């Protein structure tokens, strides 16, 4: 079981042996120490069931990087769009959204750490995830179901 297909904003992949069965990789994105994030959502009345349903268009923009490593430019910032429907229910608003992330998974070295407190980190592979881990067109869509407003 390969659980390495995780969403990450940047940094190397680190995995540890913890509760992992043989052959699996548990990853933790190391990210960075600087972030830029922006979100925008446009809510529109639905052409059907206008009193109970609304449509939403949204865009998320952001990037994570290690301060001091490099200068980030506007072309480094990731932009991901999406759309969804919002329903009014007795529990509150229910959202069903679909978002698209067309960016390839950033590759980096695969590192091994024996435990959360271990100070030794070993490089297992110079480049991870494997090339075969590339996503198909449909795998780039993410479906989310939630109760409550997005903002």
Give the three-class secondary structure for 98. Answer: strand
What are the residues whose beta carbons fall under 8 Å from the beta carbon of 99, sequence distance 6 or more?
A: 58, 60, 80, 81, 82, 141, 142, 144
Average pLDDT of the chain? 76
The predicted model scores a pTM of 0.65
Can you tell me the mean pLDDT for 13-35?
A: 59
Identify which of 29, 48, 42 has the alpha carbon closest to the alpha carbon of residue 81. Answer: 42
pLDDT in tens, 76-135: 889 999 999 999 998 888 999 999 998 877 777 777 776 666 677 787 777 776 666 667
């Amino acid at each position: 079981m390969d659980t390495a297909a995780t969403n990450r904003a940047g940094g190397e992949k680190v995995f540890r042996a913890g509760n992992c069965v043989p052959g699996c990789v548990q990853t933790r994105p190391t990210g960075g120490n600087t972030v830029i994030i922006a979100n925008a959502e446009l809510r529109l009345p639905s052409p059907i069931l206008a009193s109970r349903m609304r449509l939403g268009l949204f865009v998320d923009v952001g990037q994570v990087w290690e301060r001091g490593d490099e200068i980030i430019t506007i072309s480094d910032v990731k932009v991901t769009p999406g759309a969804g429907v919002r329903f009014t229910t007795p529990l509150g608003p229910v959202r069903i959204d679909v978002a698209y992330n067309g960016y390839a998974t950033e590759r980096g070295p695969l590192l091994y750490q024996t435990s959360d407190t271990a100070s030794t980190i070993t490089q297992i592979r110079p480049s991870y995830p494997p090339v075969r881990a590339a996503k198909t067109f449909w795998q780039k869509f993410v479906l989310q179901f939630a109760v409550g407003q997005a903002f």
